């Protein structure tokens, strides 16, 4: 007979940290975009990236918990 056991993983934490770091980098891009030559476009891309990566971090915590 074979038995299956659920092994806990740290995927949720790992993905949340990864996306959190990417969101932090995106926030830095947004800040740099505010002081660069094309502030609106770079700032907009940075802001959108922050929102996407932040949402993915929360999603990873919920999916893998």
Q: Establish if 4 belongs to a structural domain.
A: no
Number of H helices, E strands in the chain: 2, 0
**Does residue 2 lie in a domain region?**
no
Q: How many domains does the chain have?
A: 1
- Report pTM: 0.79
pLDDT above 70 (res 11): yes
| pLDDT above 70 (res 65) | yes
Residue given tokens 């800040």 in the structure block: 31
What average pLDDT score do residues 17-24 get?
Answer: 96
Contact, 63 vs 9, CB < 8 A? no
Q: Is 43 domain-assigned?
A: yes
Within a domain: 5: no
The boundaries of the domain holding residue 26 are: 11-63
Q: 64: pLDDT confidence band, cut at 50, 70 and 90?
A: confident
């Amino acid at each position: 007979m074979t038995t299956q056991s659920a092994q806990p993983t740290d995927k949720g934490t790992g993905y949340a940290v990864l996306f959190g770091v990417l969101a932090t980098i995106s926030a830095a891009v947004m800040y740099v975009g505010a002081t660069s030559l094309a502030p609106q476009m770079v700032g907009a891309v940075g802001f959108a990236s922050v929102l996407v990566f932040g949402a993915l971090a929360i999603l990873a915590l919920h999916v893998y918990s």
